[in-house]
């Protein structure tokens, strides 16, 4: 019988995360304090974030960062995640390509987000923090943080974009089952929220309003830190556990990827899978291609400009050197909420600038078409975000069919879509716009 | 680091299912044709079911039934499922007990149901059947059959209880993504449905109406067979892959269960985990206890009578010798839809009669309380059905705490609750009745 899934024994789980910044010839340019235009310091960052992740954020020299034992122990609750040979998909496409995917959807909260949530919650706990806060849109990150906070005995307060709070009740319920306090944003619980509601009592909320409220809560609450689920370099660092596992698992399968593909929102699931393989391009002369699959309606890597920009709509964050559509850009209302972000993380932006990776744009209908094909062939209903990676993989597999090349493709199944079935409903009913 | 999860290499996946009937001193009494009061034959059963499962249903002599290679290959898409040491739960309960669970929630459709759906779909395909049909309530079984049908190239038609079709749209959408035709029952597509609607145009449907429609469709459609997700012996046979894996995995953990626990609806997830271990009680003098956890509102094992009864409300099925609350019994509207069944499978009924297993009743609020505790401790939000097994396990673990005994407890996490979050919502809001 052909092997379908590869797991690592627990003792072979990675001990360290991989910091690609140490191996980059051109390091990312520094984040700037918008007031002083000077590089942001660990001291400045750690007002908001735990000290340890603030250090990680600015660490451009240490290649390996130890994974604390306490985090590794929690990783064993769901890691290693399986590396899966997609025989079903290969057959459906009739392609000579060998398609593999890393299945991050098996995490308790259904996505890769937990890999960083556990680390961030742990560092907070270790530093004596008692409360953590964050914003969430559809709720993937909020659910991950709520669970991680519960495991480490922290109180979690999540500001969820109001329209998602009302329209996506399942992820809100998940957060509540894990014991988190979930507030629809804008709310009357913060100065920022009150100001917004005063002007517009019917404001439906946005990641911008939710970030403002979470940041304010962290600033005004003793022993409370803010956490973020993507974009920043320390988040991607934690996600490299995905690629480091995949590297060993591909070795078990006796193959090495010619192409590595992931969907692209802020960059954490992409970097998490890609960077450990990219290091062999940087250091060992490998020629693997790396493809970020972004929504055509939010094409920062293919159509954005590389420049200093704010990470949030309101301009509260440091200035980040990145590919951006402008921090005032409002993405179309696609169902892949996790990809609706105007900018790309600073590491990916630098790699893109240096032609060390590629990006493709995927239309919404193509993403769901790919997702349904995958569901029928492999049985897993993918998150709308992950559908973008699948669509890009299918495109590569069909090129292999045309050329007869037996390439090895590896993509990241960042999450499942079981809590996003209403989006599939609308797709099957023909009600989705093809942004 | 302590080992958290145990997997089997693919080559060690079971090659055979275990037929406990071969080892029972008192075999189950025969199913009877209600017209003739004579034992049902393979010929009679195979009008409705595939021939192979009809044979399996009545096979009381062969201990081992080979798992076809084609089914085994599809099992590798998600099997082995992990055996997990519930360190988090042990810690939360401060118990000396060692708690393990078999995590069937990692199947593509989120529950153990797929183990039999794959087998049933395969046999249909092999016998030249082109269409399969079934009924489903909340949709766990319907989703499993839809997926299995898609993998084996069969058309699936699922009659879903109308009120669930409307109130639980996520599982309906899952079935549709897998390509199944889903019809709310009662419908105008069958004689049975029309008759019901004529009398009561607002009928909300029940498993009874849905079974009648699916059976009629199978009878009236060329090359179409009916399939069932629990109760019958061949379904439980297929589910023994759970316990056979768990047996090897417990060996990897160096332990053997003192108590095996599963929730109880028709018996397939219970028998699937329990029977392979129970064989060592029957044959090797082991003294493991087996506990079926049923809802207090549907207590057929603890309060039912052992007698011949119909398997469905309308009296279309053969007469089954079982513990039953009467086929006209209407269970309270608890959220564990999969446990709302009036009778117990014939094998379990005989085992119960012979005192070879036990049963306990769990109140609805106790089940959700246990589910939330488990979610916080282990990160997985359990299906409302599985919450009953967790509650029973917690009771045993607390007894161990009292007595200081280091017992080994093993329960079946039959499914996750991600598509049942509205039930948790109502629990957290204090809106659930404590049936």
How long a stretch of residues is chain B?
A: 435
Inspect the interface and report whether the beta carbons of A428 and B372 lie closer than 8 Å.
no
Identify the CA nearest to B139 among candidates B116, B164, B119: B164
Give the tens place of pLDDT for each residue, A248-273: 999 999 999 999 999 999 999 999 99
| Mean pLDDT on B184-202 | 92
d(CA A51, CA A54): 5
Q: Report residue B268 CA to chain centroid gap.
A: 4
pLDDT above 90: residue B299: yes
Predicted local confidence at residue B154, as pLDDT: 97
Interface ipTM > 0.85: yes
Dist. CA B79–CA B102, nearest whole Å: 11
User: What is the pLDDT averaged over residues B126-151?
Assistant: 95
Q: Two tokens at B293? A: 């956890």
DSSP per position, A358-412: EEEEE-HHHHHHHHHHHHHHHS--B-HHHHHHHHHHHHHHHHHHHHT---EEEEE
CB pairs under 8 A between A and B: 129
Report the C-alpha gap between A292 and A341 in whole angstroms: 14
Nearest to B389 by CA among B169, B166, B112: B112
CA B261 to CA B280: how far, in whole Å? 16
> What CA–CA distance (Å, rounded) separates B402 from B317?
47
Nearest to A76 among B5, B76, B106 (CB): B5
Host H or E run for residue A301: helix A300-303
Beta bridge mates, A260: A290, A410
Question: A178 to chain B: nearest residue by CA?
Answer: B376
Quote the pLDDT of residue B412: 98
- In chain A, what residues touch B169 (CB-CB under 8 Å)? 421-422, 425
Q: What is the pLDDT of residue A163?
A: 85
Least confident of A63-67, A102-106, A407-411, B206-210: B206-210
Yes or no, beta carbons of B418 and A150 under 8 Å apart? no
Answer yes or no: do A169 and B421 touch at CB < 8 A: yes
Q: Which range (A13-22, A129-138, A326-335) has the least confidence?
A: A326-335
* Cβ contacts of B374 on chain A, cutoff 8 Å: none
Whether the Cβ atoms of residue B410 and residue B259 lie closer than 8 Å to each other: yes
Q: Which two structure tokens, joined as six digits, stand for B305? A: 């009578």
Partners of residue A85 on adjacent β-strands: A100
**pLDDT of A100:** 98
Which of the residue ranges A2-11, A118-127, B155-164 has the most confident prediction, judged by mean pLDDT? A118-127
Three-state SS at B288: coil
B173:A108 CB<8 A: no
Average predicted confidence (pLDDT) for chain B? 95
Q: What percent of chain A has pLDDT over 70?
A: 100
Beta sheet of A224-226, edge-to-edge order: A181-185, A155-161, A131-136, A224-226
Give A324-338 pLDDT, tens digit per residue. Answer: 999 888 888 788 888
Residue A416, strand partner residues: A382
Residue among B229, B233, B240 nearest B66 (CA): B240
Q: Which residues contact A356 (CB under 8 A, 6 or more apart)?
A: A278, A281, A282, A290
Q: What is the pLDDT of residue A131?
A: 98
**pTM score of the predicted model:** 0.93
Report whether B164 contacts B139 (CB < 8 A): yes
- Residue A291's SS3 state is strand
Let me know: does B125 contact B326? Beta carbons within 8 Å.
Answer: no
CA distance A257 to A241: 17
Q: Which residues of B touch A (CB under 8 A)?
A: 1-5, 7, 10-11, 69, 72-73, 76-78, 88, 106, 108-110, 147, 150-151, 169-171, 173-174, 176-179, 372, 375-376, 378-381, 418-419, 421-422, 424-425, 428
Residue B32 pairs in a beta bridge with: B39, B319
Count of Cβ atoms closer than 10 Å to residue A167 Cβ? 12
pLDDT in tens, B108-134: 899 999 999 999 999 999 999 999 999
What is the pLDDT averaged over residues A215-243? Answer: 95
The distance of A115 to chain B (nearest Cα, Å) reads: 13
The pLDDT assigned to B334 comes to 83
* pLDDT value of position A246: 98
Q: Which residues of B touch A5 (CB under 8 A)?
A: 10, 76-77
Instruction: Report which of residues B187 and B208 the model is more confident about.
Output: B187
B137 — pLDDT class (breaks 50, 70, 90):
confident
Q: What is the pLDDT of residues A337-352, one digit of tens each?
A: 888 889 999 999 999 9
Contact B131, B157 (CB under 8 A): yes
Q: How far apart are CA A195 and CA A183, in angstroms?
A: 16
Write the burial class of residue B152 (CB in 10 Å: 0-12 exposed, 13-18 middle, 19+ buried): buried
Neighbours of B433 (CB within 10 A): 12
Calpha distance B115→B145 (Å, rounded): 10
Per-chain mean pLDDT for chain A:
94
User: Cis bond leading into B186, ω under 30°?
Assistant: yes
A177 vs B76, B147, B375: nearest CB: B375
- Give residue A333's pLDDT: 79
Residue pair A101/A260 in contact by the 8 Å Cβ criterion: no
Average pLDDT, stretch B89-98? 98
The C-alpha atoms of residue A111 and residue A241 are separated, in whole angstroms, by 14
Residue B22: strand, helix, or coil: helix
* Mutation target vs A (from B80, B144, B372, B381; most A CBs, 10 A cutoff): B381
Look up residue B59 and give its two tokens: 């096979």
CA distance B300 to chain A (A): 30
Residue B400, CA distances (Å) to B93, B290, B358 in order: 10, 16, 18
Distances (CA, A) of B291 to B171, B303, B347: 29, 15, 15
Interval A162-203: pLDDT, tens: 988 888 888 999 999 999 999 999 999 999 899 989 999 988
Candidate from B109, B177, B428 with C-beta closest to A176? B428
From its phi and psi, is residue B154 left (phi > 0), alpha (psi between -120 and 50) or beta?
beta
B233-253 vs B268-284: helix crossing angle, rounded to 10: 60
Task: Kindly report the number of other CB atoms within 10 A of residue B253's CB atom.
Answer: 16
Positive or negative torsion for Cα B344, B345, B351, B357? negative
pLDDT per residue over B315-340, tens digit each? 888 999 999 999 888 888 788 888 88
| A chain contacts of residue B174, beta-carbon cutoff 8 Å | 381, 418, 421
**Residue B129 φ then ψ, to 5°:** -70, 145
Determine the pLDDT at residue B169. Answer: 85
Alpha-carbon distance A329 to nearest alpha carbon in chain B (angstroms): 32
User: What's phi and psi for B76, nearest 5 deg?
Assistant: -65, -15
In sequence order, the β-bridge partners of residue A308 are A321
Residue A214 is predicted with a pLDDT of 94
Q: Would you call A419 and B421 a contact, using CB atoms and an 8 Å cutoff? A: yes
Model pLDDT for residues A375-426, shown as the tens digit of each residue: 999 999 999 999 999 999 999 999 999 999 999 999 999 999 999 898 999 9
Label residue A50 by pLDDT band (50, 70, 90).
very high
Mean pLDDT of B297-308: 96
Sign of CA dihedral B255, B417, B381, A120: positive
């Amino acid at each position: 019988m052909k092997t379908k899934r590869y797991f690592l024994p627990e003792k072979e789980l990675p001990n360290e995360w991989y910091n690609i910044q140490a191996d980059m010839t051109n390091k990312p340019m520094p984040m700037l304090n918008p007031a002083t235009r000077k590089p942001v310091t660990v001291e400045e960052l750690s007002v908001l974030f735990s000290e340890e992740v603030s250090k990680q954020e600015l660490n451009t020299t240490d290649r390996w960062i130890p994974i604390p034992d306490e985090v590794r122990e929690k990783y064993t609750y769901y890691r290693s995640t399986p590396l899966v040979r997609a025989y079903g998909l290969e057959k459906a496409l009739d392609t000579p390509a060998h398609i593999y995917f890393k299945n991050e959807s098996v995490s308790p909260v259904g996505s890769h987000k937990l890999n960083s949530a556990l680390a961030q919650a742990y560092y907070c706990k270790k530093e004596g923090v008692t409360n953590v806060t964050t914003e969430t849109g559809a709720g993937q990150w909020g659910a991950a943080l709520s669970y991680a906070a519960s495991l480490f005995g922290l109180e979690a307060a999540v500001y969820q974009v109001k329209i998602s709070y009302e329209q996506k009740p399942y992820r809100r319920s998940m957060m509540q089952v894990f014991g988190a306090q979930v507030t629809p944003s804008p709310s009357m619980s913060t100065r920022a929220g009150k100001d917004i509601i005063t002007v517009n009592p019917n404001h439906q909320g946005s990641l911008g309003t939710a970030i403002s409220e979470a940041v304010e809560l962290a600033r005004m609450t003793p022993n409370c830190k803010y956490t973020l689920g993507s974009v920043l370099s320390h988040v991607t660092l934690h996600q490299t556990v995905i690629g480091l596992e995949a590297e060993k698992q591909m070795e078990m399968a006796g193959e090495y990827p010619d192409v590595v593909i992931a969907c692209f929102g802020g960059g954490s699931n992409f970097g998490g899978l890609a960077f450990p393989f990219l290091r062999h391009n940087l250091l060992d002369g490998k020629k693997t291609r790396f493809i970020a699959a972004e929504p055509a309606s939010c094409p920062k890597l293919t159509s954005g400009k590389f420049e200093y920009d704010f990470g949030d709509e309101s301009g509260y964050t440091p200035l980040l050197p990145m590919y951006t559509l402008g921090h005032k850009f409002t993405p179309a209302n696609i169902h892949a909420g996790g990809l609706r972000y105007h900018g790309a993380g600073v590491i990916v932006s630098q790699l893109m600038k240096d032609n060390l990776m590629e990006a493709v744009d995927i239309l919404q209908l193509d993403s769901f078409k790919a997702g349904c094909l995958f569901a029928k062939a492999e049985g897993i209903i993918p998150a709308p975000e992950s559908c973008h990676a699948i669509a890009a993989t299918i495109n590569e597999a069909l090129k292999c069919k045309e050329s007869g090349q037996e390439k090895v493709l590896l993509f990241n199944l960042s999450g499942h879509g079981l809590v996003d079935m209403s989006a599939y409903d609308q797709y099957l009913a023909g009600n989705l716009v093809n942004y």
